[in-house]
Amino acid sequence: MIGTTYKCEICGTESAAPVRWFVIHCSDARLAIYKWDQVQADKPHALHFCGEGHAQVYISRWFESFCGSPVMLGGK
């Protein structure tokens, strides 16, 4: 039986045996980051990242999407 293959959200690297990967679950108000955990990785809407650098790219984009909003910048 062939295992699940995971794909990095940033670079597209694929792996059936992720090592040093991260899983992120997020919403508009919450961001949860996990060192690779099969249970978390297989949950619906889980995001997969091939390393710390690509997880950081996503986290920065998540902060920017919220903190860069007009409401956060003093607009209406």
Tokens 């040093």 belong to residue = 20
Q: How far is CA 8 from the centre of its chain?
A: 9
DSSP string, 14-73: EESS-SS-EEEEE-SS-EEEEES-HHHHTSTT-EEESSHHHHHHHHHHHHHHHHTSTTTT
Model pTM? 0.82
Q: What is the rounded distance in angstroms from the CA atom of residue 21 to the CA atom of residue 34?
A: 9
Q: How confident is the model at residue 69 (pLDDT cuts 50, 70, 90)?
A: low
pLDDT surpasses 60 at 71: no
pLDDT tens figures, 15-63? 999 999 999 999 888 999 999 999 999 999 999 999 999 999 999 999 8
